[in-house]
Amino acid sequence: SIDSNGPFVRKKIPSPLAQRNVWAALSACQSNRLPRVEATYELPDRFVIVYDYVPGSTLAQIVEENGRLAPNVAVQLI
C-alpha cells in the first residue's frame, strides 16, 4: 500500500533487466536526497516501481541540452 499522497512516478522495467536487489535497497533508504520508493510489484513481463515524483529536468534532458558534463557540474547535480 502507498502511504504518501503523491504525486508519484510509475516506472516499468522489462523483467530480465529489473535489478530487484537495487530497488529493494533503495526502498529501505530513508534520505531527503533520494525519492522514496513507495511500492514495487510484478506484471507478467515487467517489474514496476512506484516512487516519489521529483520536479525538474532529468539527467538525460540536461545532458541532451548541454552535452557531456564537467565533473564539477555533475557533482552539483547529485
Pick the CATH number of 8-77 from 1.10.10, 3.30.200, 3.90.220, 3.90.1570: 3.30.200
Residue of 51, 56, 61 lying closest to 7 (CA atoms): 51
pTM for the structure as a whole: 0.71
Q: For residue 39, what are the contacts with CB-CB under 8 A and spacing of at least 6? A: 1, 2, 49, 50
Residue-level pLDDT at 3: 67
pLDDT grade, residue 1 (50/70/90)? low
Q: pLDDT digit string (tens) for 3-59?
A: 667 899 999 999 999 999 999 999 999 888 888 999 999 999 999 999 999 899 988
| Ramachandran region, residue 11 (left: φ > 0; alpha: ψ -120 to 50; beta: rest) | beta
Residue-level pLDDT at 6: 81
pLDDT grade, residue 65 (50/70/90)? very high
Q: Is 35 exposed, middle or buried (0-12, 13-18, 19+ CB in 10 A)?
A: middle
Residue of 52, 47, 6 lying closest to 24 (CA atoms): 47
